Amino acid sequence: MKRAALVLPLLLLALPARAEDAALRHARALLKRAVLIDGHNDLPWAIRIAKERPGDVAAYDLRKRTPGATDLPRLRLGGVGGQFWSVFVPADSGSGFARMQLEQLELARRMVARYPDALELALTAADVERIFRSGKIASLLGMEGGHVLENSLGALRAYYDLGARYLTITHGTTTDWADAAGSTARHGGLTPFGEEVVREMNRLGMLVDLSHVTPDTMEDALRVSAAPVIFSHSSAYALCKVPRNVPDAVLSALPKNGGVVMVTFVGSFVSQPAADVAMPLWEKVVARSAGVSDDAERERLYKETFAGVTLPKATIAQVADHVEHVRRIAGPGHVGLGGDYDGNDQVPEGMEDVSSYPNLFAELIRRGWSDQDLTKLAGANVLRALRQAEAVAARLRKERPPSIATIERLDGKK
């Protein structure tokens, strides 16, 4: 009797751990057969600003543990099958945007080429599926911020030819043709030239990315775009009220367009208490960094502003809440994931690096998600959006030539 009294509590204590292990095993098994495509990883920028030998893809060896959140062993542990590598250029660094964009595209392509056994450049949805079946990680390139066009549609086409498959319409600063979230809105959304940028992206087959833009810009892009849009790394405004997140009105409009919100893991975009502390500091960083072109100095200003500040930690449960909110409002066909690793030092507990995706899937499994909806979340939704964008482009290229519109002609700007 005494022995039974001791054994029963021990068995009860063991049950939750076994349940968690079962969910995690389920998640890992699912991610072996379902391609997981993350919408945004800033590894190319991390390499550019690396403390030791900045910009050296050989020195930043992805075969071993890196100083950041991303390397090949951890990508494998995380079940990542496809990755949009962000070829980010700061919007408030002053000038030289096109030069820096070319450098980042070239750096990312060198990074991918250095590991031919593990990574392969993907330009189409079919490429992603083929590369995933081969056991490698499909590597797509996404530009972050329309300032890199320097108001040129010819530059947009050149970037597409170099492999860019999405453009985030703005980064943190309003451009001459589109309003950015957290910046001064000057246009009420997109200008006529901004609308032409969207139409030309549709003609190319480049995904329109609406992370970082205002709700007015989101709504204008949804009205103009003939192809699905994406939000490469955004969360739900209803759960965390920061300008970077997507309001319910936009989520409700998404099914008609076919777009996908790829929920991000940035703590201050996921947790309201974290946002309440972080957002005023971000405003200081933006103000202090304006016009600073030196990458190292910009990084120093960021670290100095946040030094000594402890943000409330976000949790996997909160990330899952955002995923479920997007699914509830927009539907299971319109949600994905965009971790923002290596551009984000505010990761939720349990989501510290790219090995952590199975933890989130396990949380959703415990909440009753079906394998069908998990597969859509992992990558099927964004693959469908990319495939549709390619089909729209094939049609539009037959209907019209490359646009020769200029911002001077459409917006009357010099």
> Which is the catalytic residue, given 209, 340, 342, 390?
340
* Residues 128-166 pLDDT 10s: 999 999 999 999 999 999 999 999 999 999 999 999 999
* Residues 352-394 pLDDT 10s: 999 999 999 999 999 999 999 999 999 999 999 999 999 999 9
Residue 349 falls inside a structural domain = yes
Residue 335 falls inside a structural domain = yes
Residue 145 falls inside a structural domain = yes
* Residues 41-87 pLDDT 10s: 999 999 999 999 999 999 999 999 999 999 999 999 999 999 999 99
In single-letter form, the type of residue at position 231 comes to F
Q: Are 160 and 204 in contact (CB under 8 A)?
A: yes
Strand partners of residue 178:
190
- The confidence band for 279, taking pLDDT boundaries of 50, 70 and 90, is confident
Catalytic site residue 334? no
Residue 288's pLDDT is what?
Answer: 75
Residue 392 falls inside a structural domain = yes
> Which is the catalytic residue, given 40, 147, 325, 334?
40
Residue 9's pLDDT is what?
Answer: 42
> Which is the catalytic residue, given 233, 322, 325, 334?
233
Our measurement of the distance from residue 39's CA atom to the centroid of its chain's CA atoms, rounded to an integer in Å, reads 4
In Å, how far are 52, 143, 242, 407 from 326, measured between CA atoms? 40, 24, 16, 35
* Residues 225-269 pLDDT 10s: 999 999 999 999 999 999 999 999 999 999 999 999 999 999 999
- Percent of the chain scored above 90 by pLDDT? 83
Catalytic site residue 340? yes
Catalytic site residue 144? yes
> Which is the catalytic residue, given 171, 322, 325, 334?
171
CATH number, domain of 225, equals 3.20.20.140
Residue 95 falls inside a structural domain = yes
> Which is the catalytic residue, given 147, 187, 212, 334?
212
Residue 203 has pLDDT above 60, yes or no: yes
Residue 298 has pLDDT above 70, yes or no: no
Name the residue range of residue 232's domain.
36-411
Catalytic site residue 42? yes
Residue 21 falls inside a structural domain = no
* Entry pTM: 0.91
| Average of per-residue pLDDT values in the chain | 92
CA pair distance 180, 321, nearest whole angstrom: 26
Residue 152 falls inside a structural domain = yes
Catalytic site residue 26? no
Residue 235 falls inside a structural domain = yes
Count up the domains in the chain and report the number: 1
Residue 287's pLDDT is what?
Answer: 73
